[in-house]
Amino acid sequence: MLFWKSALQNLIKNGSPDMAGLKTWILASRLRTLPLSISGAVVGSSYAYFSGSFDSSIFILIILTTLSFQVLSNLANDYGDGVKGTDNKYRIGPERALQSGTVTPKQMRFAVILNAFISASLSIALIWVSFGLEQLFTSLIFVFLGALSIYAAISYTVGNSAYGYRALGDLMVFLFFGLLSVFGTFFLFSKQIDFRLLFPASAVGLLSAAVLNLNNMRDLESDKKSNKNTLAGYMGRKNAKVYHFLLILIAIVLMIVFQTVMSFSNLMIFSWIAFIPLLLHLKIVYGIINPERFDPHLKLVALSTFAMSLLFASVLVIEQLHHSL
């Protein structure tokens, strides 16, 4: 907290530091992570459409707010791992902005503060459009949840109490990418909770945790050298693979159970297409020995999760349109 207070005071006093080029910031934003970040929002929004409570203005603000949270998290992660020395020559994967020297710590810190402000502004706009003053208490709850999301995005690797260094990353990803994203999105539309969403919300959360687990299996050795504790690090690569299998298989089962319980039409089977690359992925991951080979699978699982959410959403929209005819 002292760090961020000092950073904000310095920003107010000195203004924006000279910023790096646009291409550098686009790379630092890690665009490949963005589809996964909105998967839960897509599932929650499509279920709201199916339930007859969809609003396009709310949907646009949800997507923009979610994307801003993810960019904030990526920049804060770059800063946190950079100043701690975790992003070093031993790390596998794309070189980070701070690690490469194209961005200074001061510039990255400013970018984090700026994006935190953008995220806060979008959150307030979303809450206002969804609830207004008529539901003040509910608005205050979502203001708290928005502030909590911003704090979680930053404190993953920033600060002495960064939860990403305490093997809590998997849990937080499950909660924020899965449960909070799906339930929160649906509530913003409908102003109610449907506990049946626990199935798809958990599925998205588990698959998101699987992406993080792949990242941690890849960085197992470098994380140990930097004293970064992750769940994969505690389990070891062999057990982390078993854990990875469970994350993906349970997620698939949860989606199938939800679709069966809801008695959707046979069209929903088309959403299962996204499960094929996930199952093929498990076969490949089981035999991986060289940690560098984990890297392309982060993108595969992330995009498969996004594809699953889009296919699921498409079927729900088609069903609702069919019912309305």
pLDDT in tens, the chain (325 residues): 444 444 445 444 444 444 557 777 787 778 888 999 999 999 999 999 999 999 999 999 999 999 999 999 888 888 877 776 666 565 666 666 666 667 788 888 888 899 999 999 999 999 999 998 888 899 999 999 999 999 998 888 887 778 888 888 899 999 999 999 999 999 999 999 999 999 999 999 999 999 999 989 988 888 887 788 889 888 998 999 999 999 999 999 999 999 888 877 777 888 889 999 999 999 999 889 888 898 889 999 999 999 999 999 999 998 888 777 6
Q: How many domains does the chain have?
A: 1
Q: Is residue 323 part of a domain?
A: no
CA dihedral defined by 221, 223, 227, 229, rounded to 10 degrees?
-110
β-bridge mates for residue 166, sequence order: 229
Residue with tokens 């990242």: 215
Q: How many CB atoms lie within 10 A of CB 258?
A: 20
What amino acid is encoded at 318 in this protein? I
Burial status of residue 274 (CB atoms within 10 A of its CB: 0-12, 13-18, 19 or more): buried
Q: What pLDDT score was predicted for residue 103?
A: 77
Q: Is residue 227 part of a domain?
A: yes
| Residue-range definition of the domain harbouring residue 199 | 2-26+34-318
Tell me the torsion sign for CA atoms 169, 115, 90, 224.
Answer: negative
Q: Is residue 325 part of a domain?
A: no
Residue with tokens 């690569």: 237
For residue 180 the two structure tokens come to 């909070």
For the whole model, what pTM was predicted?
0.88
Q: What pLDDT score was predicted for residue 88?
A: 57
Q: Is residue 324 part of a domain?
A: no
Tell me the torsion sign for CA atoms 299, 40, 58, 266.
Answer: positive
